[in-house]
Structure formats: C-alpha cells, structure tokens
Structure 1
Amino acid sequence: MLPRETVATAQIPDGETLTLVSHGRDFIIMLGRDELMGTRMQFSEEQLAVLTLAELEAKRPRVLIGGYGMGFTYRAALAHLPEGGSVTVAEIVPEILDWARGPLAELTGESLADPRGEIVLCDVAALIDDANDGTTDKYDAILLDVDNGPDGIVRDANYRIYSKTGLGKARDALRPGGILSVWSAAPDHKFTVRLKECGFEVEVREVRARPNNKGPRHTIWFARKR
C-alpha cells in the first residue's frame, strides 16, 4: 500500500492548517484528517463551472470563483468560457498558488497565465462587496467552493457567506439572470430553503465525484437571480 507523504503545509487565515500530500501519482489537500479535494475525484468541482456556464444567459459572462484549491473549477471555467468572458478567482491562502506553480505545476499547466483569468489574494466576500458598492462591475455567475459546503465550514469567517445576509449580498452582486452556484460534500435542505427565502430560483443537482458515475455524491445548488 502506497504511503501518503507530506509535500507542504499552509495556514488558513484565522483557521486550521492545510496539508498537501502525495499518494503515488495523486495529490490531496487535507484539512486535519479530512480530505478537501484530490486529483482522483475532481469531476464534481469541474461540473460546478461547466453546468453553471451552460445555464448562463449572458453572452460574455463575468465569472467570480471563491476558492482556487487545485484549480479544477477555474480551469473548467476557462475551458467552457464563451468568447469575451472573464474569470476572477478569490483565494485567501497564498501558498495555494505556490503549490499550483510548484508540485502541482503539471496539473496547473498554463492556466495561471491565461489572459482571460485573474487570481486575487483576498476573501471572496470582499469581491462581492466591491460589486455591491460599485467598485467593480457585477457578475453573471458566482461559484463558491471555499468549504465542504454550508454545513462543512473550514474557516469561521465563512459562515457569513451562507447566512441570509451573505446570500443577499451575493444576489445583489449578480446581474439579472445571474447564477450563484455552491458546491457541497453533502445535501442540506435548510440551505435550499434559505436560498429561496433570499429570492433565488433554486435548482439542486447531485453530481458524482468521478466522471464514470462512481465515487461520493456531491451537491451543487444553482440559484438564479431574476
């Protein structure tokens, strides 16, 4: 049995320690003993971008992604982005980008140099606030994969993102017809209700972690602003 080897560690601001480990040819980002993501099961994180972009009405969408991680959602967004669109990623852990350029460079490819994309070292909530106060343009899609879901918080400050106040700010940061998409390791009926109470039209989909219809079942909420 192949051992897991620690490649690097990083501290989440006001949170716990992330650990990048290798397992044979695969890599995994751990939070304590929990797996946040890994190269063996990336399909649902890619689908977060693919399915959202497929539903957008905007011809040149402006997309915001909360959390870079291993870049699965970011690269999928770039791959399916219509001409003239753009993607901004908010990432709070600088070392994540060091890993992307270092041990995960083969996975990253040339995506960080893509002129259609931008990585900003900040809390995604700050970019949502900027769109609300007019500092930046509003978004056609906001994709959140900063936790293991609304009930799987990895940083206490993220609770606000899933609160009614936070969801209301996300809704206001979207253009009409825009979509807020949220990835989760598990279903959460209360969160579905909360989204509807915040004025979204909500669709909940279950997506497997692997493209062969195997692996854990993950949940994605698609909440449209009308």
Structure 2
Amino acid sequence: MIPWEEIDRAKVPGQKEDVTLRKRGTEFSIRTAETELMNSRLHGSEEALAELTCSRIRQKSGLKILIGGLGMGYTLAAALEHSGPDALITVSELIPAVVGWNRKYLGHLAGMPLNDPRVSVKEEDIAKTIREKESFWNAIILDVDNGPEGLTRKANDLIYGRAGLEKSFRALCPGGILAVWSSGADEAFTRRLKQGGFKTETLTTRARKPAKGSRHTIWLARKP
C-alpha cells in the first residue's frame, strides 16, 4: 500500500491542535491528529449539501450564498454548478492555510472553483461573516468541522448553538435557507432549529456516489 505523505500542517486559530494535509497517490486528506475531516474520495454528501440547498431557493437569479468552510472545494463547486451566472458566492474559511492548499494542491479536484469570478473568500470565522449583514443571504451553507457536534473547535457553538442560529435567522432573506452538514444525526440540533423559527427538513445522504459510503445528515431549514 502507498504510504501517506504529509504535505503541510497548520494551526487552527484559537486552538492548540494542528490540521494536516496529506497525500497518498492521487488521494488527499485533511485531518486532525485523531480525526479525518475531509477526504478527496468521499465528497458526495458535500456536493449534495449545495445541490439540495440551491434546489430549495425560491429566488432563481441574483442569488447571494454564504458557505462556511472551504474544505477541498466540493461544496463550493456544486453551489457554482447549481446557481446562475449572476450569483454571488462568499466562502468564509477560518484557516488561511486551507485556502492556500486549495490554490496550490487541491483546486484541480473540484474544477478550480476559487478561480470562478462569482466567488469571493473571507479568511475569518463564519460566525463573524454571518453577523455582518441582516436579511441579505438567500442561503447560508455550513460545512464546518464535523457538524453541530464538531470535534475541532468548541467555538463552533457560536454558530450551532441557539444564539448562533438566531444570528443566521436574522442574516437570511425571507424564504432563505440555512443548510447544515453533519457526520451524524443530532435530534437536539433539530429541536434548536425548530425552536429558532425555522421550518426544518432533515435528510440523509451518502459519502460517496452513487449511494455508497457512510451516511451523513443534512438539515435544510427555511426562514419563513
């Protein structure tokens, strides 16, 4: 078996733990010491996250979409594919090295989505980006850590906790969609979404296409 090669590592802002970029043949992996966060072979549910979100947006032109978490670019690429030529897509990525890895090592995997003129990147916490505007976004897509029970940053409670969901609710246009990816189900999070005023749909999708790999959870929560 081909051994893994470490390409680079970077600190998570505000945390002691590193994230690493590794390569084995044509396969790439982003992980912490204990957990794989993203693998280039397993991106079906990330693509489904964006595709399902765009299919639920009622407005069909001039879309304004915010994506939390760049990963390997698959969610962004799917959002570009399923939105119009006049869409504005902003990616908020906490770890600057992840943006650099996409530009240098990973971009070809998802078709170089950062090169699309519809895309802008903010190297900051998604919670900060959400707070900046109210009634602005048609969709907020959160692919941060491993979901509401994420492993990398306790600060993710700022987006998945009740106060964070209230901020996302205010940031969305009427009819806007908050879409959340998770590595597993979380009934408590479903209740928080509903308590926050969202009309919520919970779906299960697979890590690999067609219908293979681990089962992941996607919440699609609409602001009335």
TM-score of the pair, normalised by structure 2:
0.95
> Does the CA-based 8 Å contact 1:53-1:81 persist in structure 2?
yes
* Cα deviation digits, residues 103-149 of structure 1 (max 9, x gap): 224225442221111111111111111113xxxx6100000011101
Question: Could you tell me the percent identity over the aligned residues?
Answer: 45
Structure 2 counterpart of 1:95, one-letter code? A
- Decide which moves more: 10-19 or 180-189: 10-19
> Does the CA-based 8 Å contact 1:92-1:122 persist in structure 2?
yes
Task: Report what 1:159 is aligned to.
Answer: 157
Task: Report what 2:133 is aligned to.
Answer: 131
Query: Across the two proteins, how many residue pairs are aligned to each other?
Result: 222
What is the distance in 1 between the residues matched to 2:143 and 2:69?
A: 6
Task: Report what 2:3 is aligned to.
Answer: 3
Deviation at 1:79, TM superposition (A): 1.1
Gaps of at least 5 residues in structure 1 are none
* Aligned equivalent of 1:212, options 200, 210, 213: 210
TM-score of the pair, normalised by structure 1:
0.95
Task: Report what 1:107 is aligned to.
Answer: 109
Task: Report what 1:12 is aligned to.
Answer: 12
Task: Report what 2:100 is aligned to.
Answer: 98
> Does the CA-based 8 Å contact 2:107-2:113 persist in structure 1?
no
Task: Report what 2:201 is aligned to.
Answer: 203
* Cα deviation digits, residues 154-178 of structure 1 (max 9, x gap): 1122111111111011001000110
Task: Report what 1:63 is aligned to.
Answer: 65
Task: Report what 2:184 is aligned to.
Answer: 186
Task: Report what 2:91 is aligned to.
Answer: 89
Deviation at 1:33, TM superposition (A): 2.2
Aligned-partner SS, 2:105 = coil
Deviation at 1:83, TM superposition (A): 3.3
* Aligned equivalent of 2:78, options 63, 76, 89: 76
Task: Report what 2:148 is aligned to.
Answer: 150
Deviation at 1:34, TM superposition (A): 0.7
Deviation at 1:31, TM superposition (A): 1.3
What is the distance in 2 between the residues matched to 1:181 and 1:196?
A: 13
Aligned-partner SS, 1:216 = strand
Return closer, same or farther for 1:125/1:3 CA change in 2, 3 Å cut-off. same
> Does the CA-based 8 Å contact 1:204-1:220 persist in structure 2?
yes
What is the distance in 1 between the residues matched to 2:51 and 2:39?
A: 19
Task: Report what 1:172 is aligned to.
Answer: 170
> Does the CA-based 8 Å contact 1:100-1:108 persist in structure 2?
no
> Does the CA-based 8 Å contact 1:101-1:108 persist in structure 2?
no
What is the distance in 2 between the residues matched to 1:110 and 1:149?
A: 25
Task: Report what 1:40 is aligned to.
Answer: 41
Consecutive aligned runs of 4 or more in structure 1 exceeding 6 Å deviation: none
Return closer, same or farther for 1:110/1:104 CA change in 2, 3 Å cut-off. closer
Aligned-partner SS, 1:81 = coil
Structure 2 counterpart of 1:180, one-letter code? L
Gaps of at least 5 residues in structure 2 are none
